[in-house]
Structure 1
Amino acid sequence: MHPIPDFLAGQTRRAFLGKSALGLGTAALSTLLPARAAGAIPGLPHFAPKAKRAIFLHMNGGPSQIDLFDYKPKLEDLFDKDLPESVRNGQRLTTMTSGQKRFPLAPSKFKFERRGKSGMWMSELLPWTAKMADELTVVRTVNSEAINHDPAVTYLCTGNQIPGKPSLGSWLSYGLGTMNKNLPDFVVMTPSWSSKTDAQAIYNRLWSSGFLPGKHQGVALRSQGDPVLFLSNPDGVEPATRRKMLDSLGKLNQQHFDEIADLETQTRITQYEMAFRMQTSVPELMDLSKEDKRTLAMYGPEATKPGTFAASCLLARRLIERDVRFVQLFHRGWDQHGNIAVDLPAQCRDVDQAGYALVTDLKQRGLLKDTLVVWTGEFGRTVYCQGGLTKANYGRDHHPRCWTMWMAGAGLKPGFVYGETDDFSYNITRDPVHLHELNATVLHSLGIDNNRFTATAQGLDQRLTGVEEHHPVKALFA
């Protein structure tokens, strides 16, 4: 027997009208509206989008903005001096440095140069990224309240520090629907990393659909074994047999849905069909044999090595070509509390050439103009040293008050730097961009007004950007 609440839900007057009169009204209205992606919410996008899809490169652990993008030459004369209390101003610290008696300043040991026609400052650790300085829109003033990894990463991915909310990719899939029939709307990859730093755990709830229908959750591509779990047929099961079984199962699920109108039943029908189509589309996606040698060389020597950041970036481009809505990569190992002289260069070597190749490849194929690329961590690093300090090596603690990220494509201002921090890369002095405003900007790029984009759950109209009103940073767009 069905659970009583589900049964009663199917008997209500509202459910009856939804299946009949209102359903017919929706069908009639759809003939009067412009064509939109399959499954998109009526009325979305709210306005003409700059981007159709997005790639989110998450440097998990918190890259050091002061060693990569936020050049502070005045610090060179302040080596090992204490950070003035007037700068720290009582900021909440992690337990890793809260017990320190001193907060010695640690100027970056890496050289900076102005790059491109824009004259953008960039570290020697990112020579390939520097080549595309004039393609990038750099924001130096992203900030949030989360000072520890798990809440900070959850905040970045779902707009809330408490687990359980839908991720950004799920919101986009839910609101804008699908542009392809044979691959998921939202794909996730977790490439390997080179530094010896222990990496923070990555949980599948970071690409969960939360209270949205399950079909909008991210699908993880694996680097070993089957690219997607449970996709292959068991031994002895032929495709024709699987097709017959799915047809019969679909009829049973449809009968169940007709009885109780459970949206998760529709999700099961959709996902079974998607899985069947992916048995063909995923092997074709993973087959790099048709990629030309010039393209592979551009991504670097690890482009054909499964599980590397380079291979993941190449797959991201192939997914975008196939009209996947949202691709997210989690590159771990950026939590450098010590040994930054060794670990940070190793991390940069992982992502530098491949990130350049991804943006360049998209541009050469005419895809960058309607694809948004985002590169960011969940927070930055402190100007003061954690633990022992020498000019040869040091470590940095978490710093959510300001960090640097870059974006490219989708109508953004190329070669543009937004926001300023103080001489210590500690506090924002101009144009702060809160994490909610960053997510609002991503949604804006895809034609969505974040303040109008809601889903009802737990008795509330929920939003990715929280209950307060937030606005995109329109100054970033050309």
Structure 2
Amino acid sequence: MCNHKKVRSTNKDLQSVEKKMDRRHFLKKTSLGIGAFALGSLLGSDKTFASSDPVKSITDSLPHFLPKAKRVVYLFQSGGPSQFETFDYKPKLVDLFGKELPSSVRNGQRLTAMSAQQSSLPIAPSKFKFKQYGKNDTWVSELLPHTAEVVDDLCIIKSMYTEQINHDPAITFFQTGHQLPGRPSIGSWLSYGLGSDNQNLPSFIVLTSGNAGQPLYSRLWGNGFLPTQHQGVQFRTGKDPVLFLNNPENYDHHDRSDMLGYLKELNQIQNSTYGDQEIDARIAQYEMAFRMQTSVPEVTDMSDEPEEVFDLYGKDSRTPGTYAANCLMARRLLEKDVKFIQLYHRGWDQHIGLPNGIKKQCLDTDQATAGFLKDLKRRGLLEDTLVIWGGEFGRTVYSQGKLTQNDYGRDHHPKCFSMWMAGAGVKAGMSYGETDDFSYNITKNPVHVHDFHATLMHILGIDHEKLTFKHQGRRFRLTDVHGNVVKDILS
């Protein structure tokens, strides 16, 4: 970057702007005068004339206690994987094929508009076989043979639940702690609270895969009301992994450096007048983008990976943009100390044709997921990295639409579903929570989304009740006013 002191002393345009924005000059010209400062203090700390001290006092105390994990990789399976075809084995359903779901099991629980239109709710046992694996004889579906190989590294939670029954509010709830858009995402909260361990890459990076299924929105990795430098940065496939990062045509590295130097000077003048924290965030983003011009091409170039690594993750890992390639990219980002990596893989929403649909999904993801864990473990990265796998809700025991021995579909089910965690901070080789014979209700150790968030933050050394941000007169947090740490699964 250029020498800003030199710029300020020699650039007449900047001197003119600075003079016009001088604090005394501003007070003299405005009719509000001292009243403007009084108004600013009443408006709060997050905008005009804001003080950054409250923010610093909150984040400077972090971590609140010794963290077990330094980094997180969240393998989000968008659409809602069926627990019946993955981890929640229900053998008694075989004898109930086609029979109506007992009203005592449903107990008046809410249905989607799709299920409400059906005249009956016929029970659909899974057509796939299960076997026991690992030291604790954990049941795993035949659809996940590679995951079965690493089951001793997993902490499978079978008693997850949420209140959201439709995709958009459910995925928004999982990513932000609230079903309505506008709140900061998990990665943004962690970036805000813990900062970055690599000044040349964002602390929160997003990778997406899957061409079918529910849409993904950038607000799912947005910063909400937190400063904008904490939003997730999406890495894409193709020539430009990060949009607008490369220099324009006929514009070289030195031109970019000089431009950013002048821009920073202008922003600093504005910041000294208004005290808006968002100006500091803007400066930080510009400077990060400049550093990323070197760091991003380096981390996204996989030509240095040996063939055995591609074989470990599966043949799709050679194709940019696939789930397998994104898992390999996630490992490379972890090696660069990126704090939070979010992978979204779409295609799990199987209302009809579930057996064929979920078989394809597992073929696309199973080997890469297991290979990712094996790769982290052999490199010593799993010791301080938390890996999460799961979707926004589960699926119903009854079939949506026509039911046959070989074909059926499943609707959304928020009352119980399965996900897993592995690595730093959680007990390995265990299953937690239980559901009834229909996987319709939780019978032991329920885990709400807020509890999941509280536990995730605890593993990173954060007391979820203390990491807050004041916005519009209220202190917000990821877990809102809820959440309990699930201590039974902590190592």
**TM-score relative to the length of structure 2:** 0.89
Paired with 2:404 and 2:272, the residues of 1 have a C-alpha distance of 69
Residue pairs, 1:440-455, within 5 angstroms: 440-455=454-469
Match for residue 281 of structure 1?
A: 295
Match for residue 33 of structure 1?
A: none
Q: SS at 2:115's partner residue?
A: coil
Match for residue 36 of structure 1?
A: none
Residue pairs, 1:33-432, within 5 angstroms: 41-192=59-210, 198-432=212-446
The Cα of 1:25 is off from its aligned counterpart by 12
Paired with 1:307 and 1:231, the residues of 2 have a C-alpha distance of 19
CA contact (8 A) 2:209 2:323 kept: yes
Read off the aligned partner of 2:480 and give its amino acid letter.
Answer: G
Seen in structure 2, the aligned counterparts of structure 1 residues 208 and 362 have a Cα distance that, compared at 3 Å, is same
The Cα of 1:458 is off from its aligned counterpart by 1.9
CA contact (8 A) 2:133 2:140 kept: yes
Read off the aligned partner of 2:372 and give its amino acid letter.
Answer: L
The Cα of 1:411 is off from its aligned counterpart by 2.7
Across the two proteins, how many residue pairs are aligned to each other? 457
Q: SS at 2:160's partner residue?
A: strand
Q: Which runs of 4+ in 1 moved over 4 A?
A: 1-10, 12-15, 22-27
Seen in structure 2, the aligned counterparts of structure 1 residues 6 and 54 have a Cα distance that, compared at 3 Å, is farther
Paired with 1:404 and 1:217, the residues of 2 have a C-alpha distance of 28
Seen in structure 2, the aligned counterparts of structure 1 residues 236 and 49 have a Cα distance that, compared at 3 Å, is same
**TM-score relative to the length of structure 1:** 0.92
Seen in structure 2, the aligned counterparts of structure 1 residues 146 and 6 have a Cα distance that, compared at 3 Å, is farther
Q: Deviations over 1:124-165 (max 9, x none)?
A: 000000000000000000001000000000000000001000
Paired with 2:323 and 2:422, the residues of 1 have a C-alpha distance of 18
The Cα of 1:105 is off from its aligned counterpart by 0.3
Q: Which runs of 5+ in 2 are unaligned?
A: 1-19, 46-50
CA contact (8 A) 1:6 1:262 kept: no
Read off the aligned partner of 2:373 and give its amino acid letter.
Answer: V
2:485 aligned with 1:475 = no
Seen in structure 2, the aligned counterparts of structure 1 residues 340 and 268 have a Cα distance that, compared at 3 Å, is same
Read off the aligned partner of 1:379 and give its amino acid letter.
Answer: F
Seen in structure 2, the aligned counterparts of structure 1 residues 401 and 8 have a Cα distance that, compared at 3 Å, is farther
Paired with 1:61 and 1:94, the residues of 2 have a C-alpha distance of 15
Paired with 1:176 and 1:146, the residues of 2 have a C-alpha distance of 29
Seen in structure 2, the aligned counterparts of structure 1 residues 6 and 362 have a Cα distance that, compared at 3 Å, is farther
Q: SS at 1:298's partner residue?
A: helix
Read off the aligned partner of 2:197 and give its amino acid letter.
Answer: M
The Cα of 1:225 is off from its aligned counterpart by 3.2
Read off the aligned partner of 1:225 and give its amino acid letter.
Answer: K
Q: CA RMSD in A?
A: 2.3
Seen in structure 2, the aligned counterparts of structure 1 residues 87 and 55 have a Cα distance that, compared at 3 Å, is same
Q: What percent of counterpart residues are identical?
A: 54
Q: SS at 1:392's partner residue?
A: coil
Seen in structure 2, the aligned counterparts of structure 1 residues 111 and 45 have a Cα distance that, compared at 3 Å, is same
Paired with 2:33 and 2:405, the residues of 1 have a C-alpha distance of 70
